[in-house]
Amino acid sequence: MDKLLIEGGIPLEGSVRISGAKNAALPAMAAALLTSDRVELTNVPHVRDIITMGKLLAHMGAIVETPELPPTSMTIQAEQVNGAEAPYELVRTMRASILTLGPLVARTGSARVSLPGGCAIGARPVDLHLKALEQMGAEIGTSHGYVEARVPGGGRLRGGNVFFDKITVTGTENVLMAAALAEGETTIGNAAQEPEITDLADLLIKMGADIEGAGTSTIRVSGKEQLYGATHRVIPDRIEAGTFLVAGAITNGSLELTYCEPEHLRSIIAKLRDTGVEIRETAPGTLSVRGARKLIAADVRTEEYPGFATDMQAQFMALATQAKGTSVITETIFENRFLHASEMIRMGANISIEGRRAVVHGPTELSGTGVIASDLRASASLVLAGLVAKGETLIDRVYHIDRGYERIEEKLSSVGARIRRVQ
């Protein structure tokens, strides 16, 4: 099992290229199931979840070609996907497999997808996905841990009014893809507004879909009989960019981030500026960050986009341990997303958890020790803590971080971090 060994205390200096967004590439790959033509995706990050999704699509009969070197371009052609299913052994390693459900039902009239099950940060149900597909005419059954969906008589899904009781990113993506091939009009109410939704809609429109309102809370889709091949460049990863902004800030260094999209980072940038961090847009797609001589505590509340992203909460907590004063962090999206706090406390942080709130007193000196990663973003926050801690930090279970960060130790080493992968 790989580990990351970090020697802390070195200010990071230099330029980092931000990769394509994992959470945009995953739905884009699933969208290839909607057509028998070739779909080409570029700027796809070379991370474990993408490899897993590629295996899943190949298991379903699609041809998936991925040249080895990042930045990765990928072509997918799903000519024959009848009777396709998403087996548990693949789904359990990547919840986003649920994104194949909507496209498969819309394309073939039936689908069998393993229920993803929970993960460290919460139960992560998919009830809203299933309810929405039922509202579009699918019959949904769950048995032996699988979702079985079928359109009666093998016909097409029919468009309709879908309103999400709760904002769900992949739920919105599943319905958007299903509606693209459904019969008639679909309105999606209380839709997620993340940039990854807009990026998926851009791809679907290139494939011939008729979509309006992506990026707002109401999306209208006029279903088509057929969709076609397309070429699409995946948007930059706003969470990777946010993570490197914190890396520059927490080490009191000076970093330049290239190939990013500042427009997707407004709430993250605003919050980091509140703590005294200097962030400037120095060129299109380029951000520069300089650590503050003195970091000041700030409160943060995670919210759906355009609010402060839950996927940046753990990284912000690492920064808060070095900020002067008390930071109150409220996690409104997931019920159990403070697992990183206990590991930071072992490094010397002063954090107390009260339900959905974490109260961080700083600054505290962190000292390196052995820590265990629990989930993707928690592991990123432990890397950040290790970069500022005195001495060496050994992070176990780094397969979590490999799911969503492309070559993180190479990128960090290239700007001066003392980090290496060990067995």
CA distance 308 to 329: 11
Q: Does 334 bind ligand EPZ (CB under 6 A)?
A: yes
Q: What is the 3-state secondary structure (H, E, C) of 51-115?
A: HHHHHHHHHCCCEEECCCCCCEEEEEECCCCCCCEECHHHHCCCHHHHHHHHHHHHHHCEEEEEC
Q: Does 129 bind ligand EPZ (CB under 6 A)?
A: yes
Indicate which single residue of 11, 20, 171, 386 sits in contact with ligand EPZ (rule: CB under 6 A): 171
Comparing CB distances to ligand EPZ, the nearer of 310 and 393 is 310
DSSP-derived pairing of the beta strands 300-301 and 325-330: parallel
**Per-residue mark of binding to ligand EPZ, 103-122 (x: CB under 6 A):** -------------------x
Comparing CB distances to ligand EPZ, the nearer of 130 and 297 is 130
Indicate which single residue of 96, 113, 358, 388 sits in contact with ligand EPZ (rule: CB under 6 A): 96
Amino acid in position 33: L
Q: Does 166 bind ligand EPZ (CB under 6 A)?
A: yes
Which residue, among 223, 148, 151, has the nearest Cα to 188 in the 3D structure? 223
Q: Which of residues 259-318 bind ligand EPZ (CB under 6 A)?
A: 310-311
The distance from CA 291 to its chain's CA centroid, rounded to whole angstroms, is: 26
CA distance 276 to 257: 19
Which token pair is 269?
A: 């940038």
Q: Does 23 bind ligand EPZ (CB under 6 A)?
A: yes
Q: How many residues bind ligand EPZ (CB under 6 A)?
A: 22
Tell me phi and psi for residue 281, to 5 degrees.
-90, 105
Span from 104-112, 165-173, 201-209, 321-329 in contact with ligand EPZ (CB under 6 A): 165-173
Instruction: Calculate the dihedral angle through the C-alpha atoms of 202, 200, 102, 303, rounding to the nearest 10 degrees.
Output: -130
Q: Min. distance of Cβ 373 from ligand EPZ in angstroms?
A: 12
Q: Does 52 bind ligand EPZ (CB under 6 A)?
A: no
119 catalytic residue (yes or no): yes
Q: Does 347 bind ligand EPZ (CB under 6 A)?
A: no
Q: Does 376 bind ligand EPZ (CB under 6 A)?
A: yes
Q: Does 44 bind ligand EPZ (CB under 6 A)?
A: no
Comparing CB distances to ligand EPZ, the nearer of 25 and 366 is 25
Which token pair is 133?
A: 């597909």
Which residue, among 62, 76, 416, 61, has the nearest Cα to 234 in the 3D structure? 76
Q: Which of residues 389-408 bind ligand EPZ (CB under 6 A)?
A: 404
Q: Min. distance of Cβ 197 from ligand EPZ in angstroms?
A: 9
CA distance 233 to 176: 19
The distance from CA 116 to its chain's CA centroid, rounded to whole angstroms, is: 16
Which residue, among 238, 237, 250, has the nearest Cα to 412 in the 3D structure? 250
Q: Min. distance of Cβ 94 from ligand EPZ in angstroms?
A: 8
Comparing CB distances to ligand EPZ, the nearer of 316 and 334 is 334
CB 359 within 8 A of CB 395: no
What's the distance, Cα to Cα, between the start and end of the chain in Å? 6
Of the residues 5, 119, 205, 394, only one is catalytic, namely: 119
261 has which bridge partners?
none
Comparing CB distances to ligand EPZ, the nearer of 120 and 345 is 120
Q: Does 92 bind ligand EPZ (CB under 6 A)?
A: no
Amino acid in position 89: E
Indicate which single residue of 26, 50, 86, 180 sits in contact with ligand EPZ (rule: CB under 6 A): 26
Which token pair is 340?
A: 């990183």
Comparing CB distances to ligand EPZ, the nearer of 112 and 129 is 129
Amino acid in position 340: H
Comparing CB distances to ligand EPZ, the nearer of 10 and 269 is 269
Which residue, among 58, 37, 164, 191, has the nearest Cα to 107 in the 3D structure? 37
Span from 35-43, 83-91, 168-176, 411-419 in contact with ligand EPZ (CB under 6 A): 168-176
Q: Which of residues 190-219 bind ligand EPZ (CB under 6 A)?
A: none
Q: Angle 22-31/48-59 helices, nearest 10 degrees? A: 10
Comparing CB distances to ligand EPZ, the nearer of 279 and 305 is 305
Length of the chain: 423
Residues in touch with ligand EPZ (CB under 6 A)? 23, 26, 96, 122, 124-129, 166, 168-171, 310-311, 333-334, 376-377, 404
Catalytic residues: 119
